[in-house]
């Protein structure tokens, strides 16, 4: 156990603006920090800093609706930590967004950016709205007004938003344009995930799936499992799952099962993700794909496979299915797909789990490239971007692997050790600011 210096601040942990009896997702994050603190040595002196978002902005967003009435929406921008650089993290439009959720997501961005060694702190934004109920014009007005309201705290060298759930390159184009008009010049570097025509980066669309592949392949290499013919099961066939499946197949692996919201398909001989995508586009479902068997939802977890990629939702791998999973490697494309109790079961069973803060960091890594390219207005080829992404992801995997071996801990705990150490070293070197 670490002995804290006597001048250590008392450990309060829970800020007054959260309900102490119902901390929401922030509670999971606090537990993760507590778990890693014993590994931080003298840096534990600064650990309380991780439990406090640096800055929280809550805004009211009034807009004219198409029917002539005025509606108000609640919006957030949180900068969890800026010790290593400007805050960076997405903006989520969802009716269930809460302060606690945005706090946790901003903190996980601090961890992710530090784990991969990107020169960023962590941030996140959100607006409580169900975008399905609003027109494109209403969403544009909402996005522009939200951008103006959080314009106080964002900026290319302060805090750089990006897309998250229910936001996309068009949303980023509106944000970039609004911020630019407010500051009186075009500032492409204020957001990432923009359309390529407006300073976006090549390679961004596949970047998260590519990072899932690179880290998964590194794990296979460590375990001595050949990539050629490796059987892969993918849950979620969207941006992340489809790209990961394609790239695994392009590199010799075999996709044996795909599950999405429309159903679950299996083929021991392999499912071609390109053809499954075409089938999904034309029929609206992955089921009835030629040569595949349809499984029920729960049977997905029993599929014989070597690699499992959860790339859909959070809390999918639970104590109910963790002992049935046959894969030797799990690569978390989604954020938070594995519950802590399931994590423990998988560890005991010797399953290697590449955690979300590493496995899905390919997206923010190419966002970093986009930001760098915007600063110099000099754009790289897709080959250059992929080569740099592959190197960063592989190096990050290998350094976390070494830490996990040294401490005898999981890759998830190793990621938190490395990330928290980097953040707190920066904190200690800078002093009490920022
Ligand atoms: P997406 O909307 O493109 O795809 C989601 C997929 O999940 C779809 O195929 C959908 O059918 C499937 N799905 C939804 N509900 C399901 C259910 N109940 N059972 C099985 N499948 C279901 O989203 P995405 O961008 O691919 O993101 C997936 C996950 O990856 C999310 O957790 C997201 O936060 C995370 N992530 C995405 C990125 C990125 O760059 N897109 C980066 C980091 C993390």
**pLDDT score of 16:** 87
- Please compute the mean of the pLDDT values over residues 49-73 and round it to a whole number: 97
Model confidence at 285: pLDDT above 60: yes
* 3-state SS track over the chain: CCCCCCCCCCCCCCCCCCCCCCCCHHHHHHHHHHHHHHHCHHHHHHHHHHHCCCEEEEEEEEEECCCCCEEEEEEEEEEEECCCCCEEEEEEECCCCCHHHHHHHHHHHHHHHHHCCCCCCEEEEEECCCHHHCCHHHHHHHHHHHHHHHCCCCECCCEEEEECCCCCHHHHHHHHHHHHHHHCCCCHHHCCCCCHHHCCCCCHHHHHHHHHHHHHHHHHHHHCCCCCCCEEEEECCCHHHHHHHHHHHHCCCEEEEEEECCEEEECCCCCCHHHHHHHHHHHCCCCCCCCCEEECHHHHHHCCCCEEEECCCCCCECCCCCCCCCCCEEECCCCCCECHHHHHHHHHCCCEEECHHHHCCHHHHHHHHHHHHHHHCCCCCHHHHHHHHHHHHHHHHHHHHHHHHHHCCCHHHHHHHHHHHHHHHHHHHHCCCC
Model pLDDT for residues 324-350, shown as the tens digit of each residue: 999 999 999 998 899 888 999 999 999
**pLDDT score of 32:** 87
Model pLDDT for residues 96-153, shown as the tens digit of each residue: 999 999 999 999 999 999 999 999 999 999 999 999 999 999 999 999 999 999 999 9
Q: Is 253 exposed, middle or buried (0-12, 13-18, 19+ CB in 10 A)?
A: buried
Mutate-to-test residue for ligand 1 from 122, 165, 213, 236, highest number of ligand atoms within 8 A of CB:
236
**pLDDT score of 15:** 85
Choosing from 124, 194, 222, 297, the catalytic residue is 124
CA of 331 relative to ligand 1 center, distance in Å: 14
**Nearest CA owner, ligand 1 atom 29:** 334
For ligand 1, residues with CB inside 6 Å are 208, 235-241, 259-261, 311-313, 333-335, 360, 363
Using the atom order of ligand 1, give the atom closest to the CA of residue 360: 43
Using the atom order of ligand 1, give the atom closest to the CA of residue 240: 26
**pLDDT score of 11:** 52
Poorest-confidence range of 16-20, 95-99, 247-251, 408-412? 16-20
Q: Is 124 a catalytic residue?
A: yes
**pLDDT score of 369:** 98
Q: With cut-offs at 50, 70 and 90, classify the pLDDT of residue 12.
A: low
Tokens describing residue 170: 């068009």
Average pLDDT value for the chain: 95
**pLDDT score of 250:** 98
**pLDDT score of 28:** 84
- Please compute the mean of the pLDDT values over residues 307-321 and round it to a whole number: 94
Write down the pTM of the prediction.
0.93
Rounded to 5 degrees, φ, ψ at 85 are 150, -175
Model confidence at 168: pLDDT above 90: yes
CA of 240 relative to ligand 1 center, distance in Å: 6
């Amino acid at each position: 156990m670490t002995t804290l210096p006597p001048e250590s601040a008392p450990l309060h942990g829970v800020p007054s603006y959260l309900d102490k009896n119902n901390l929401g997702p922030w509670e999971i994050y606090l537990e993760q920090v507590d778990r890693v603190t014993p590994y931080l040595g003298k840096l534990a002196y600064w650990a309380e800093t991780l439990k406090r978002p640096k800055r929280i902005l809550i805004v009211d967003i009034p807009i004219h609706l198409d029917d002539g009435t005025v509606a108000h929406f609640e919006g957030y921008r949180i900068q969890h930590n800026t010790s290593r650089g400007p805050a960076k993290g997405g903006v989520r439009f969802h009716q269930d967004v809460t302060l606690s959720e945005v706090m946790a997501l901003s903190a996980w961005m601090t961890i992710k950016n530090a784990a991969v060694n990107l020169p960023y702190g962590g941030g996140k934004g959100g607006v409580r709205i169900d975008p399905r109920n609003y027109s494109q014009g209403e969403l544009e007005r909402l996005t522009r007004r939200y951008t103006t309201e959080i314009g106080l705290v964002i900026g290319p060298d302060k805090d750089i938003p990006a897309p998250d759930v229910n936001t996309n390159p068009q949303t980023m184009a509106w944000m970039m344009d609004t911020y630019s008009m407010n500051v009186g010049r075009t500032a492409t570097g204020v957001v990432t995930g923009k359309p390529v025509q407006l300073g976006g980066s090549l390679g961004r669309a596949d970047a998260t799936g590519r990072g899932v592949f690179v880290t998964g392949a590194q794990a296979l290499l460590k375990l001595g499992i050949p990539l050629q013919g490796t059987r892969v099961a993918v849950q979620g066939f969207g941006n992340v799952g489809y790209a990961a499946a394609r790239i695994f197949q392009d590199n010799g692996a075999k996709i044996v099962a795909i599950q999405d919201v429309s159903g679950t398909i299996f083929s021991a001989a392999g499912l071609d993700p390109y053809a499954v995508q075409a089938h999904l586009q034309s029929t609206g479902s992955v089921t009835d794909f030629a040569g595949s068997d349809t499984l029920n939802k729960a049977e997905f977890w029993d599929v014989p496979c070597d690699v499992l990629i959860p790339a859909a939702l959070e809390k999918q791998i639970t104590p109910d299915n963790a002992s049935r999973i046959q894969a030797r490697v799990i690569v978390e494309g989604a954020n938070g797909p594995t519950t802590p109790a399931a994590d423990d079961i998988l560890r005991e069973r010797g399953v290697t789990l590449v955690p979300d803060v590493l496995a899905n960091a390919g997206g923010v890594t190419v966002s970093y490239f986009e930001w760098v390219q915007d600063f110099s207005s000099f754009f790289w080829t897709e080959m250059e971007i992929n080569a740099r992404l592959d190197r960063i992801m592989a190096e990050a995997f290998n350094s976390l692997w070494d830490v996990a071996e040294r401490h005898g801990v999981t890759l998830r705990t190793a990621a938190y050790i490395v990330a928290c150490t980097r953040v707190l070293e920066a904190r200690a070197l800078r002093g009490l600011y920022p």
